[in-house]
Amino acid sequence: MQKSLLLLFLFGFTVAAQAQSQAGLIHGTVKNEKGAPVEMVTVALEGATLGDNTNEQGYFRIENVQPGTYTLRVGGVGYNAIKKPLTVAAGQALTLDLTIQTNERALREVIVSASRTVETLDETPASVYVLDSRTLQIQSQISTNISNILANAVPGLGLNSNSTSNVGQTLRGRNVLVMIDGIPQSTPLRAGSRDVRTIDPAAIERVEVVKGATAVYGNGADGGLINYITKKADTSKPFSAATSVSGTGMLFHADDTFGGRVSQQFTGKLKHFDYVATGTYEKNGVFKDGEGQVISPVYGLGETRLYNGFAKVGYNVNTHHRVEAMYNYFSSRQQSDYVLQEGTYAEEPSIGVKGEQQGISEGTRYNHNAQLRYTGKDLFLHTDVDLSAYLQNFYTVYGWTSYFENGGQSTIESNKKGLRLSLNTPVDLGKAKLSILYGVDYLNDVTSQPLVDGRTWVPEMDLQNLAPYAQLQLNLYQDFIFKAGYRYDNVRIDIPDFQQLVLASGAGGEYVRGGTLKFDANTFNVGFRYAGIRQFKPFVSYSQGFSMIDVGRYVRGATENYIAQMDLDPVIVNNYEAGFNSSIGKFNFSGAYFISTSKLGANLKANEDGVYAIARAPEYVEGFEVVADFFASDKLTLGASAAYSEGKADVNDNDDFNDDADTYLNGTRIPPLKITSYLNVKPTEKLNLNLQWLYSGARDHFERNAKGAYSSGEGPVEAFSIFNLAAAYQATEKLSINLGVENLLDQAYYLPQAYWYGRNDYFTRANGARFQVGASYNW
């Protein structure tokens, strides 16, 4: 890894030494149709790495432009994108005065990187949801917990659990791969369900959610992927800064609930360098439900302290070469004065009462992410190159339990190192354009699950994965887009000899012989989209993704020679989908219907004693998603979304999912119906109000077990609905004041996880009315 990083540095700076000196300049202004300057729209050269954002006067400046012919693209949220061909001669200073048309309906016409290449939503034959900076800002006024934000905003994603865990927060009923700038956050070797909440929203520019099975980034995305795209620098000036502070607490029953948050950002551009850095600290008070009772502290978000530090530095060698380094640190731990008082399932909630917790504080001690990236444009055969090296270092601590002999706390430690090489070569076919994306990924993942006191529950598992891939895109007459691709993953996992951990029941203590586990995964995708009619842009696609079983869960219960006999075959998921995007007058619509199948399953089931096992029966999931927006005027926008999925397992493996022996997939996998709606009102130029409604439906498919209780994941889920409010007032040009209220009507309700767990200790209510009030100042 060190040698690879050194070579990457040397390559970047060798290219810098060879940069041409006959560079030109493109500068000018961008105004709207009324002649007013437009701030913070992006002006960039397609096929190059240089661009700029307009400043308060609408001015942009792109330096070090190599001689040649380019297409200049201008676009931003709320405006129709424009493209302008131009030619820059050696040493030329080109001045442009551009006019861009306002279009509130263009909010979703953003650039995404779902296929590891920059493209627009119109070019993607798949369901992609982009949580842009504007939506992220509105949602962050209500809650800064990224799990909450995604649950409220993304159709098809399960609701969060109001805790540090994201168990049950699946995408279309299957696993979701979580990434930060393409760096995997999930820990598939020992799935700990702590991968969604791994970064603070203050460090995020936007979130890209690709729905449906995909192998474009490898293991774990059999339901799709969530990619947190970190902040980019404001290159319009050498230095600028933004400070935000806020106070939080319960709107009612406020004793001991107050907390606070402060976030600072610096950004700018100095000659060839651009930079952005943020730092965030947040302290939460006690969380209470709608009846004023303290919510259970077990993996709770109350009384937590969060730290996030982020920095990104880029160096533009010239228009064709760029080197960039990124680092993000995240930490969240709980210091609670409360302990659990168990309630009664489906009757009385579990709550927190004053007491002293056993063990050390739980939470993610650290999550380090670092990446060094080189991008080159229009190199040999006009090929674009993207080469990156990354690492992730993750450590989280779980709560104290008497499950082990003499009690204890488990942890998960995961260290990832990886390299990614992508090359994109265009082929000119006259009226058709062909591009071929190809490359290779390498990943080394070392994960273990020791106890805090050093005892081994799961030993260090060492994964090596090498994966070449190829993807082609064919554009016919600009509007017909065809894609097809293949990826081959070669996975090897080395597990050492170890001694089982002794449990409180007396079980365990056996010596287990380690071994080497191997599997291959061949995955394919093909898709077609037609983008020629604004009123109806349909697509159809078939894509595969894969995920491995939770190896650590098997290993920790292994007998002497079991590891060499483990069934490690991955879950290969087939996703069939048809969907569309439509814009008619003041309406925007999108919808998709999908079917997801797999010959092997990975459904987590618990027996009557609460011991989990992985069911490997074939699975079938289907569902739909619809989204609608109505842009009534510049002052009024409203919209709604609905997402539904259902799934079953073919327990007797006879290709029929409706036998008496077959079962529904439980709540850890399938979320209930989710409907959201919003009303956005701008009564004045300075005031913005956003009212949101969230409805979660009921789901009841399972009977009680022989002990008269529900097995974990099978409890009947009841419906609920809540309202959230976000308000922002632009007091001055630089000062804004914000107010957000979660659960505005102070409902006493339960999230789905509280029901489907079927346990007394996890039967906890969600937050009552919780406010966040603050101010932001741009220097």
**Hey, where are the domains in the chain?**
1-102, 226-517+524-778
Nearest to 281 by CA among 356, 333, 214, 207: 333
What is the rounded CA–CA span in Å between residue 483 and residue 476?
11
Which ranges of the chain have pLDDT less than 50?
A: 1-2, 4-20, 106-108, 610
What are the pLDDT digits (tens) for 758-768?
Answer: 999 999 999 99
Residue 47: per-residue pLDDT: 63
- Cβ-based neighbours of 436, under 8 Å, separated by 6 or more: 424, 425, 427, 470, 471, 472
Beta strands in 284-410 (DSSP E): 304-318, 321-334, 338-341, 351-354, 363-376, 384-397
Task: Provide the sign of the torsion angle of the four alpha carbons 742, 746, 747, 752, taken in this order.
Answer: positive
1-102 topology per CATH:
Immunoglobulin-like (2.60.40)
Residue 104: per-residue pLDDT: 54
Angle (CA) 453 455 458, round 5°: 130
Domains 1-102 and 226-517+524-778 share a fold: no
**Displacement of CA 95 from its chain's centroid (Å):** 40
Q: Which residue reads 């191997």 in tokens?
A: 518
- Cβ-based neighbours of 701, under 8 Å, separated by 6 or more: 664, 714
- Cβ-based neighbours of 104, under 8 Å, separated by 6 or more: 78, 631, 634, 637
DSSP annotation of 79 reads: B
Angle (CA) 42 46 49, round 5°: 75
- Cβ-based neighbours of 131, under 8 Å, separated by 6 or more: 139, 149, 150, 153, 154, 206, 207, 208, 209
Residue 19: per-residue pLDDT: 42
- Torsion, Cα of 36, 41, 46, 50 (10° steps): 110
Residue 111: per-residue pLDDT: 64
Nearest to 420 by CA among 117, 159, 190, 718: 117
What is the rounded CA–CA span in Å between residue 560 and residue 721?
51
What are the CA-CA distances from residue 31 to residues 43, 99, 204, 754 (Å)? 12, 5, 28, 52
229 touches 756 (CB < 8 A): no
Phi, psi of 189 (to 5 degrees): -65, -30
Residue 613: per-residue pLDDT: 61
Radius of gyration for the chain, computed over Cα atoms and rounded to the nearest angstrom: 26
Angle (CA) 10 16 19, round 5°: 150
Residue 273 has which token pair?
């360098």
Task: Provide the sign of the torsion angle of the four alpha carbons 676, 679, 685, 688, taken in this order.
Answer: negative
- Cβ-based neighbours of 732, under 8 Å, separated by 6 or more: none
Beta bridge partners of 429: 432
Residue 727 has which token pair?
């308000």
Residue 599 has which token pair?
């010959």
Name the amino acid, one letter, at 447. Answer: T
**Displacement of CA 311 from its chain's centroid (Å):** 19
What are the pLDDT digits (tens) for 184-194?
Answer: 999 999 999 99
Q: Which residue reads 């993607």 in tokens?
A: 124
The secondary element (H helix, E strand) that includes residue 469 is: strand 456-476
Residue 29: per-residue pLDDT: 94
What architecture does CATH give domain 226-517+524-778?
Beta Barrel (2.40)
DSSP annotation of 5 reads: H
CB atoms inside a 10 Å sphere around CB 579: 23
